[in-house]
Structure 1
Amino acid sequence: MPSDNFYQKVYEVARKIPYGRVTSYGAIAKAIGAAKSARMVGYAMNGAAAMQDVPAHRVVNRNGLLTGKHHFSGTHLMQQLLESEGVMVEDDKVQNFKTSFWDPMCDC
Structure 2
Amino acid sequence: MNEELHERIRDLVRAIPPGHVSTYGDIAAMAGASTPRLVGRVLREDGHDLPWHRVLRATGVPAPHIVRRQLELLRAEGVLADGDRVDLRRYRWSG
**If the TM-score is normalised by the length of the shorter chain, which range does it land in?**
0.7 to 0.9
The amino acid of 2:25's aligned partner reads: G
Gapped runs of 5+ residues in structure 2? none
The amino acid of 1:43's aligned partner reads: R
How far the C-alpha of 1:46 sits from its partner, in A, is 1.6
Identity %: 29
Gapped runs of 5+ residues in structure 1? none
Higher helix share: 2
The amino acid of 1:89's aligned partner reads: A
Partner of 2:12: 13
| Pairing 1:87-98 to 2, within 5 Å after superposition | 87-94=79-86, 96-98=87-89
| Partner Cα separation in structure 2 for residue 6 and residue 92 of structure 1 | 30
Contact 2:26–2:94 (CA<8 Å) still a contact in 1? yes
Change in 2 beyond 3 A, CA 1:7/1:80: same
| Partner Cα separation in structure 1 for residue 59 and residue 53 of structure 2 | 15
Contact 1:17–1:58 (CA<8 Å) still a contact in 2? yes
CA RMSD of aligned residues (A): 1.9
Indicate yes or no: 2:70 matched with 1:82.
no
**1 or 2 for the larger relative contact order (CA 8 Å, sep ≥6)?**
2
| Pairing 1:1-108 to 2, within 5 Å after superposition | 2-34=1-33, 36-51=34-49, 54-67=50-63, 70=65, 76-94=68-86, 96-104=87-95
How far the C-alpha of 1:48 sits from its partner, in A, is 4.4
| Partner Cα separation in structure 1 for residue 47 and residue 12 of structure 2 | 15
Q: Give a deviation string over 1:53-96, Cα, whole Å, max 9, x none.
A: x11000001110102x63x6xx72211100001111244321x2
